[in-house]
Structure 1
Amino acid sequence: MIEFFVSGNPAPQGSKRAIPAKNKAGRYTGKVSMLESSKYLEAWREIVTWHAMRKRKGRTLNSALALSVVFYLEKPANTKYPDYPLGPPDTDKLLRAIGDALTQAKLIRDDALFVDTHASKRWATSKPGALIKIEALDGDLSASNASN
């Protein structure tokens, strides 16, 4: 099993907003640029990628994998959900950012290798972040299931 904690505020990936594209003269080109809605996504993925690269140890996992992530979110001073973070961000969008960061770090060949996933959101009791666990379904994370 590979397990690590990433400190920081988890950011979702997946919601996008459309921006009409303009040419140098400032006129609309008829094209649209798509931007991530979360301005925090880039920094969050960067730190997750950094931690994943440290766990890579020269291997890229390339077999059926299980992923478990617990997202610890900062609790606002006033919330109508005192027990659990029932509002945004969506758990599936938080998970999408993790999968892409693990792929970018080359810890895994592709996030499509995750055939079992479990994700949960909790209020952070100490510091926000994510506890990430990766297991090989055959029980072996050795070089036989990895590519270089």
Structure 2
Amino acid sequence: MTKPAFLLTVHGTPGPQGSKTRNAAGALYESSAKVKPWREAVKSAALDVLAYDTAWLPLNEAVRLDLTFTLLRPKSHFGTGRNAGQLKPSAPKFPTGKPDTDKLIRSTQDALKDAGVLRDDSVVTAVSAAKVFPLTGSDSLSHPGAVIRVWRLNASSKETEQ
């Protein structure tokens, strides 16, 4: 089994990137207030990991990203009164509302580039992404955040045997 070139767990609320809004003066700005803190959380966590690898160079080859975003359940998924804190039977198993998965991918890729994990987000040739609720399966966290794996697609056979 091969190992990812880079493995990272990020804690914080995933923020989508992509939608822009114009203010009265005509300037564009991100419509999500969560994107900047999320990108900073990803960048900071990546820089912490890279601090232990002094030989790391930004990946400049084809890579695949595996991303699992853990999002908080809305309060409406839980009961009230004596059932407070208990998940309603009607609560959905998967998060189907906002934020959009593609916008979460975009903000995360940009943060990985800013941290020096990737030379550019254009080297990402394949992506597997999921949105999950806390503690609902593989790679889901107990709180908001993400598990990020970066795989080299052109790895030599010696690298994959390690």
Normalising by the residue count of structure 2, what TM-score does the alignment of the two structures yield?
0.76
2:18 aligned with 1:14: yes
Question: Is 1:121 matched up with 2:131?
Answer: yes
In structure 2, the gaps of 5 or more residues are 78-89, 136-141, 157-162
Deviation at 1:55, TM superposition (A): 3.1
**Larger proportion of strand:** 1
Q: What aligned pairs does 1:78-97 form with structure 2 within 5 A after superposition?
A: 78-79=76-77, 82-97=92-107
| 1:38-53 → structure 2 map (5 Å cutoff) | 38-53=32-47
Counterpart-to-counterpart distance in 2, 1:128 and 1:122 = 10
Q: Counterpart in 2 of 1:133?
A: 149
Task: Classify the secondary structure of the residue corresponding to 1:98.
Answer: helix
| Residues 96-143 of structure 1: CA deviation (Å, up to 9, x unaligned) | 000000011111100110101111100112111000000000225xxx
Distance (Å, rounded) in 2 between the aligned partners of 1:75 and 1:85: 8
Structure 2: which amino acid aligns with 1:130?
A: A
Q: How does 1:19-38 map to 2 (within 5 A)?
A: 19-21=23-25, 32-38=26-32
The code of the aligned residue for 2:61 comes to S
The change in CA–CA distance for 1:77 and 1:117 in structure 2 (over 3 A counts) is same
Instruction: Supply the distance in 2 between the matched residues of 1:53 and 1:82 (Cα, whole angstroms).
Output: 35
Contact 1:55 1:107 (8 Å CA) reproduced:
no
Equivalent pairs counted in the alignment come to: 130
Match of 1:77 in 2: 75
Across the aligned residues of Structure 1 and Structure 2, the Cα RMSD in angstroms comes to: 1.4
Which residue matches 1:108?
A: 118
Looking at structure 2, the residues matched to 81 and 111 of structure 1 have their Cα atoms a distance apart, in angstroms, of 36
